[in-house]
Amino acid sequence: MSCWETIADYSLRSQGIGERLLPRSDFTLCQQFTLIGSGMIWNIYFGVVALFGGFFLATLVALGKAARSPWLRKPSEWFIFIFRGSPLFIQFFFAYFLFLSLKGALPIFAPFTAAWLGALVVLFLNTAAYSGEIFYGALQSIPKGDVEAADAYGISGVSRFRRIVWPTMLRLAWPAYTNEAIFLFHATTLVFFSGFPASRQMGDALYYASYFADKTFNPFIPYPILAGYFILLTLVVIGLFGAINKRLNRHLPQKQRRKIRLRPNLIR
Amino acid sequence: MGLYWSVLTVLALLAITAPAAILFGFGGATAARSRFAPLRWVGKGYISIVRGVPDIAFFLFFVIALDQLFEWARHSVFCPDWDQPIRQGNDFVVCAAAKLPLSSSPQWVHETYGFFLAILTFALVFGAFTANVLFGAMRAVPRAQIETAEAYGMSERQAFWRIMVPQMWVYALPGLSNLWMVLIKATPLLFLLGVEDIVYWARELGGTKTPQFTDYPHGDWRMWYFFALLVFYLLFTKFSEVVLDRVMKSLTKGQATTGGEAQRKAPA
């Protein structure tokens, strides 16, 4: 079987399209590249959707934490503490079984026990908490002069937030937020290793990589392939976020622009 | 009984891994600072490779890789006259005397060996992160301190051990405490490595799907077991935060940092 046929058969395998059976013996490099790459679709899906949704919730949570009223502040603080203080792995497990027992009571929750929605909810809340903390830190370090200048111009309330505070917050938070994004993509590999089952062997990149490692007893091929894919993904994320960073900082003199320093981190 | 053991397993893992990771980190950081170029490359390579690749892929990879490395090393020592290749297609074959642990050894040896591999993996991965933190901390020690040491006629080694090492901990502690939090949150990954830790037991105990006991008096309790785990980790995190805060306070005493200055001026 040529490599093109393999790609045709397996490149969408993680979505259930193409050949039904996974290769069982005589694994070729091409098969490993194709299947692991096909699993990356899930990683990208989880990462992009959770990151996009989490961004808005994170802004709200950061504002809540910075609020003066304890009715807003306390829930935000607890939300951040709970999601940052416990392992994501346990959160996945807990959420899975929570949804499982909710499903018994209310059939509406049936889709939540599947990875595409259930795990997404967990990742969304998790990244909202982590980015919320980053945004909160940025809110605290907005230069006093900026806000005073806004007041002097008579800009206040929502328009002050939208035109002065929020852009500055993003600008300050962006390098840390880039790391959070990279980190989140790495965290998506946990999904199918926690409670969420991979139905009909439609799993993510790590799922297939460990499938190959199990079958061949040779971790030296699938895991480096996985690592290669992730490094590529990380480079893309850095490129995109770097472009946004440039735009956010475009009004600053060349020297003051803050470069994004890549600091990948592990397990959350 | 197994449940209580598993809690101890997790605590033991933390207790052993933390110092081991600091040792690895210290080694890595000093190697990265070395004036001897190959040693420096080894140190820098170790730090950047381990930090650059997604987390659990490393955990899955290292356990098999280390196991095979040990077996291969023993294989080449014990059975020099073995003429077949080690990799036969999809199998990894070593002679019986090189098997780790020996197939004749009792069950507890197998379990301890698994645990040992897990610790080594954790220490390797976290060692790289610690190395990075310590590397930064060593650079953060004010240059004047080293110059003073030189002025007093200390050799380079003396200046390193007597001036740099005692002082770097203040600069390293924020990073190290961060790592400690991450390490706590990484412990559920033990489950992936095949050690019977608390995640394993939470799945086992709460589950009702054991065929012999279909008539459980209660429904699916796994949700509650995972909830308990969640709370356990949250409490552990909170506790560590408080302790590390204290340590930071006592470490800053008498240091040439703003924190130390603030402490010095406070009583006056």
pLDDT average, residue stretch B138-155: 86
In a domain, A109, yes or no: yes
Name the residue facing B54 among A86, A189, A219 (closest C-beta).
Answer: A189
Q: What is the pLDDT of residue B163?
A: 84
Q: What is the pLDDT of residue B206?
A: 55
pTM given for the model: 0.76
Decide if pLDDT at A57 tops 90.
yes
Going by C-beta distance under 8 Å and a sequence separation of 6 or more, which residues neighbour residue A51? A127, A181, A184
| CA B58 – CA A90 distance, rounded (Å) | 19
Whose tokens are 């007597």? That residue is B162
Contacts by A95-101, CB closer than 8 A, 24 or more apart: A95/A119, A95/A121, A95/A122, A95/A195, A96/A194, A96/A195, A96/A196, A97/A195, A97/B206, A97/B220, A97/B222, A97/B223, A97/B226, A98/B223, A100/B220, A100/B223, A101/B219, A101/B220, A101/B223
Bigger pLDDT: B62 or B236? B236
pLDDT average, residue stretch B104-121: 76
Structure tokens at A103: 């499903």
| Three-state DSSP state, B88 | strand
Beta-carbon separation of A97 and B52 below 8 A: no
Name the minimum distance, in Å, from the CA of B232 to any CA of chain A.
9
Q: What is the pLDDT of residue B99?
A: 66
Structural domains of chain B in order of their starting residue, each with its CATH number: 7-197 (1.10.3720.10)
Chain B residues whose beta carbon lies within 8 Å of the beta carbon of residue A187:
55
Beta-carbon separation of B65 and A220 below 8 A: yes
Decide if pLDDT at A266 tops 60.
no
Decide if pLDDT at B93 tops 60.
yes
Name the minimum distance, in Å, from the CA of A36 to any CA of chain B.
13
In a domain, A219, yes or no: yes
Domain range enclosing A172: 3-7+27-256
B219 part of contact set with chain A, CB < 8 Å: yes
CATH code where residue A229 lies: 1.10.3720.10
B193 part of contact set with chain A, CB < 8 Å: no
Largest CA distance in chain B: 79
Beta-carbon separation of A223 and B90 below 8 A: no
Decide if pLDDT at B101 tops 70.
no
Pairing of strands B91-92, B87-88: antiparallel
In a domain, A264, yes or no: no
B205 part of contact set with chain A, CB < 8 Å: no
Q: Which residues pair with B91 in a beta bridge?
A: B88
Decide if pLDDT at A263 tops 60.
no
Name the minimum distance, in Å, from the CA of A84 to any CA of chain B.
9
A167-223 pLDDT, tens per residue?
989 988 888 888 888 888 888 888 887 767 777 777 888 888 888 888 877 777 888
Decide if pLDDT at B71 tops 60.
yes
Chain B residues whose beta carbon lies within 8 Å of the beta carbon of residue A219:
60-61, 64-65
B192 part of contact set with chain A, CB < 8 Å: yes
| CA A173 – CA A70 distance, rounded (Å) | 24
Residues of chain A that touch chain B, judged by Cβ-Cβ distance less than 8 Å: 25, 27, 81-82, 85-91, 93-94, 97-98, 100-101, 104, 186-187, 189-190, 193, 206, 209-210, 213, 215-220, 223, 226-227, 230-231, 264-268
Bigger pLDDT: B56 or A87? A87
Amino acid code (one letter) for B141:
V
Contact B18, B183 (CB under 8 A): yes
Chain A residues whose beta carbon lies within 8 Å of the beta carbon of residue B125:
266
Q: Which residues pair with B87 in a beta bridge?
A: B92
Q: Label residue A61 by pLDDT band (50, 70, 90).
A: very high
Q: Which of A19-28, A86-95, B231-240 has the lowest mean pLDDT?
A: A19-28
Q: Which of A104-118, B58-72, B114-128, B144-158 has the lowest mean pLDDT?
A: B58-72
Decide if pLDDT at A67 tops 50.
yes
B197-224 pLDDT, tens per residue?
666 666 666 554 444 444 445 556 667 7
What end-to-end distance do the CA atoms of chain B give, in Å?
Answer: 55
B182 part of contact set with chain A, CB < 8 Å: yes
Name the residue facing A213 among B55, B60, B238 (closest C-beta).
Answer: B60
DSSP annotation of A188: G
Q: What is the pLDDT of residue A121?
A: 92
Burial of B55 (0-12, 13-18, 19+ CB in 10 A): buried
In a domain, A21, yes or no: no
Q: What is the pLDDT of residue A124?
A: 94
Q: How far is CA A266 from CA A1, A2, B50, in A?
A: 39, 38, 10
Bigger pLDDT: A78 or B264? A78
In a domain, A126, yes or no: yes
Decide if pLDDT at B63 tops 90.
no
Task: Calculate what percentage of chain B has a pLDDT beyond 90.
Answer: 0
Chain A residues whose beta carbon lies within 8 Å of the beta carbon of residue B191:
89
Q: How far is CA A102 from CA A147, A198, B149, B227, in A?
A: 46, 20, 66, 15
A16-36 pLDDT, tens per residue?
777 777 777 777 888 888 888
Bigger pLDDT: A118 or B211? A118
Chain B residues whose beta carbon lies within 8 Å of the beta carbon of residue A100:
220, 223
Contact B32, B127 (CB under 8 A): no
Q: What is the pLDDT of residue B213?
A: 45
User: Within 13 A of B145's CA, how many CA atoms are on the CB side?
Assistant: 19
pLDDT average, residue stretch B132-157: 85
Task: Calculate what percentage of chain A has a pLDDT beyond 70.
Answer: 94
| CA A238 – CA A179 distance, rounded (Å) | 9
B176-186 pLDDT, tens per residue?
887 888 888 87
Q: Label residue B258 by pLDDT band (50, 70, 90).
A: low
**What count of residues does chain B have?**
268
pLDDT average, residue stretch A40-59: 93
B237 part of contact set with chain A, CB < 8 Å: yes
B237-252 pLDDT, tens per residue?
888 888 888 888 887 7
| CA B191 – CA B9 distance, rounded (Å) | 11
| CA A58 – CA A129 distance, rounded (Å) | 6
Q: Which of A100-114, B7-21, B200-214, B239-253 has the lowest mean pLDDT?
A: B200-214
Bigger pLDDT: A241 or B9? A241
Q: What is the pLDDT of residue B211?
A: 42
B83 part of contact set with chain A, CB < 8 Å: no
pLDDT average, residue stretch A123-140: 91
In a domain, A82, yes or no: yes
Q: What is the pLDDT of residue A58?
A: 94
**Can you point out the beta strands (E) in chain B?**
87-88, 91-92
Domains contained in chain A, number:
1
For testing contact with chain A, the best of B61, B178, B227 (most A CBs within 10 A): B61
Q: What is the pLDDT of residue B220?
A: 61
Beta-carbon separation of A90 and B60 below 8 A: no
B92 part of contact set with chain A, CB < 8 Å: yes
Beta-carbon separation of A223 and B57 below 8 A: yes
Chain A residues whose beta carbon lies within 8 Å of the beta carbon of residue B57:
189, 206, 209, 223, 226-227, 230
Give the CA angle between residues B47, A240, B179 to the nearest 5°: 30
Q: Label residue B193 by pLDDT band (50, 70, 90).
A: low
Q: What is the pLDDT of residue B85?
A: 63
In a domain, A262, yes or no: no
Chain B residues whose beta carbon lies within 8 Å of the beta carbon of residue A216:
90
Decide if pLDDT at B88 tops 60.
no
Name the residue facing A94 among B53, B189, B227 (closest C-beta).
Answer: B227
Residue (of B203, B258, B247, B262) closest to B229 by Cα position: B203
A1-21 pLDDT, tens per residue?
678 877 777 778 778 777 777
In a domain, A179, yes or no: yes
pLDDT average, residue stretch B164-168: 83
| Three-state DSSP state, A27 | coil
What ipTM, to 2 d.p.?
Answer: 0.71
What are φ and ψ of residue B88, in 5° steps? -105, 95
Bigger pLDDT: B205 or A245? A245
